[in-house]
Structure 1
């Protein structure tokens, strides 16, 4: 994702963003989550692990987007395959959300780390 991309800038700079996932019957559901930038990419995690409803819908049903001030923006998500990246994502979460240490601690557990997804805009 290019650094100049509006979605990248929005997700990087906004504390709580809304991921929009699609149910099996086609309904869309916005869920507030956190997003962080590492290098030239955006990453999200589920603090509640793989059983969180938004995470299950996003990884099984497709149809993922983010609500932005300019409207919904479709994205694809995929698990990164760079083991060294997790520590950098941890650092980014700790820096961006330093005012919420208890919530950050939930995002740093092995369960949450296992749900890390890279966000890629869909044209």
Structure 2
């Protein structure tokens, strides 16, 4: 299985993923978030959304430099606590903002459906992920090298 396939599988099958973003100092900050995979342009694409809009620290750091790490080996048992900075298998991702506009409407609708299918069992926490603020803070993720090609 290729690295890209492993990333998509992890984003699709893992309920709560562990990401890393960088502070200005270079320190990596672990954060638990939700993810989803939807069809886009003939490919399965990984997405992240900031449920709390542009003020979320992880979102601000990721969009500041277009970089994020994803821990493919993390299996958080307690996602209510603080994630560990003991990375198991950290892979580098590039993130790209997906505007909430008419051009990207179908992409957002596919992502809304994927989020609902994956997290519909938790409607209270799903609702913020489908809000206008969250849609405006949607990121498409790719392997770091692919995004630079």
**TM-score w.r.t. length of structure 2:** 0.76
Describe the superposition over 1:94-118 as per-residue Cα deviations: whole angstroms up to 9, x where unpaired.
1100111011001011001100000
- Of 66, 79, 90, the match for 1:72: 90
Q: In structure 1, list runs of 5 or more residues that go unmatched.
A: none
Secondary structure, aligned partner of 1:99:
coil
Return structure 1 stretches of 4+ with deviation > 3 angstroms: none
Deviation of the 1:73 alpha carbon: 0.7
Report what 1:18 is aligned to.
18
Q: Give the aligned partner of residue 50 of structure 1.
A: 54
**C-alpha displacement at 1:3, in angstroms?**
9.7
Matched with 1:112 is 134
Q: Which has the larger radius of gyration?
A: 2
Cα root mean square deviation, aligned:
1.8
Q: Helix, strand or coil for the counterpart of 1:79?
A: strand
> Partner residue of 1:95?
117
**Which segment is superposed worse, 60-69 or 91-100?**
60-69
CA distance in 2, matches of 1:80, 1:110: 13
Which whole-Å deviations, capped at 9, do the CAs of 1:30-68 have from their partners, x for residues lacking one?
Answer: 110111010110000000000000000000034411011
User: Separation in 1 of the partners of 2:142 and 2:67?
Assistant: 13
Q: Give the aligned partner of residue 31 of structure 1.
A: 31
**Unmatched runs of 5 consecutive residues or more in structure 2:** 74-87
How high is the TM-score relative to the length of structure 1? Answer: 0.92
